Amino acid sequence: MRTTRIVPIVVLLIIAGGCGDQRTVSTEPGQLSPMLDQASPANPGSKITFFSFRDVGFEVYVMNSDGSQQTRLTEQPGFDGFPAWSPNGRKIAFSSNRDGNREIYVMNADGSEVTRLTNNPAFDDQLAWSPDGRRIAFQSFRDGNGEIYVINADGSEPTRLTDNPAADNFPDWSPDGRKIAFNRTDGSGDANIYVMNADGSELTQLTSGTARDRAPAWSPDGRQIAFHSSPDDDFLHTEIYVMNADGSARTQLTLGPLNDAFPTWSPDGTKIAFGISTDGSFEAFDTYVMNADGSDLVLVATKAANPDWGRGHLLVP
């Protein structure tokens, strides 16, 4: 492990606050903003984990939600990515190819005691913990195409939840643990958000069309889902949206020329962290935080992809 020193830079960005007026925001990463969550470091809500291509490869990092104390947790030449906090903040699960192909791993929040959870020749990644910390949902290609699977937190009892010729990925559990949202991408590249019971039953489509809706994230109160979408069908231009949990009241939160993607909510539901990339690659993502209505955008970390904000829905032993 080692702490990365961040050199402040200033960026200018045009955003839409709650799909309303446009404004220019000047921000500096790693500096405390009064708008950011300032919970105790012992509270997982004060931490954001992400992955970055800064050193020998893609590695997992953790930082305070204001961008300070950025610390690398993994160090190996392959890919470590898509990190996700356990609900009690003691563990981080992630995907890695350190043993030859992409598998699910878990480690302590300080990077110690890395344990492999899946062992399959196929590709396993894009994961999310259940709110009680007992299970992990993820995407796997072990049956030929991307499907949603779930395992116990110790890696046992892998169970396939979806079975469709399309690619199902980016699962996220509802705060009450009863539902899983995910996106389904068909052969034409169109992607839409679906929700199902946690056992895979009662599948419901929430969005439709050719806008390519991906990476759903439930709000902590379970009433809304944030996601990213390509409003002009351009893969390299995505924006952050939010909708009600039933798919109604779709609202665009960001407005710019770049790739805004992978939203994650603060534990109190007042803020959303997400990435902005200049070219759509994970190497080019920076992490920003904004109010849940799209206002007050703040840059918190450069070269920081796929943020996951410790939620603290339910503390378990």
Residue 46, classed as helix, strand or coil, is helix
Q: Are 289 and 300 in contact (CB under 8 A)?
A: yes
Tokens of 272: 């959303």
pLDDT confidence bin for 156, thresholds 50/70/90: very high
Chain segment 64-89, per-residue pLDDT in tens? 999 999 999 999 888 999 999 999 99
> Are the C-beta atoms of residues 274 and 307 closer than 8 Å to each other?
yes
pLDDT of residue 233: 64
Topology given in CATH for the domain delimited by 2-309: Neuraminidase (2.120.10)
Structure confidence at residue 45 (pLDDT)? 56
Q: Determine which of 59-63, 189-193, 201-205 has the lowest per-residue pLDDT on average.
A: 189-193
pLDDT digits (tens, 9 = 90+) for 179-196: 999 999 987 788 999 999
Confidence of residue 62 (pLDDT cuts 50, 70, 90): very high
Query: Which of 161, 272, 273 has its CA nearest to residue 224?
Result: 272
Contacts of 248 (CB under 8 A, 6+ apart): none
pTM of the model: 0.85
Tell me, what's the pLDDT at 114? 97
Query: What's the whole-number mean pLDDT along residues 104-129?
Result: 96
Segment 54-66 shows an average pLDDT of 90
d(CA 150, CA 157) in angstroms, rounded, equals 8
> Which value, in Å, is the radius of gyration of the alpha carbons in the chain?
18
Between 72 and 317, the more confident residue is 72
The fraction of the chain above a pLDDT of 70, given in percent, is 82
The two tokens of residue 233 are: 């069908």
| Cβ atoms of 263 and 50 closer than 8 Å | no
pLDDT above 70 (res 13): no
- Span 39-60, mean pLDDT? 74
4 DSSP 8-state letter: P
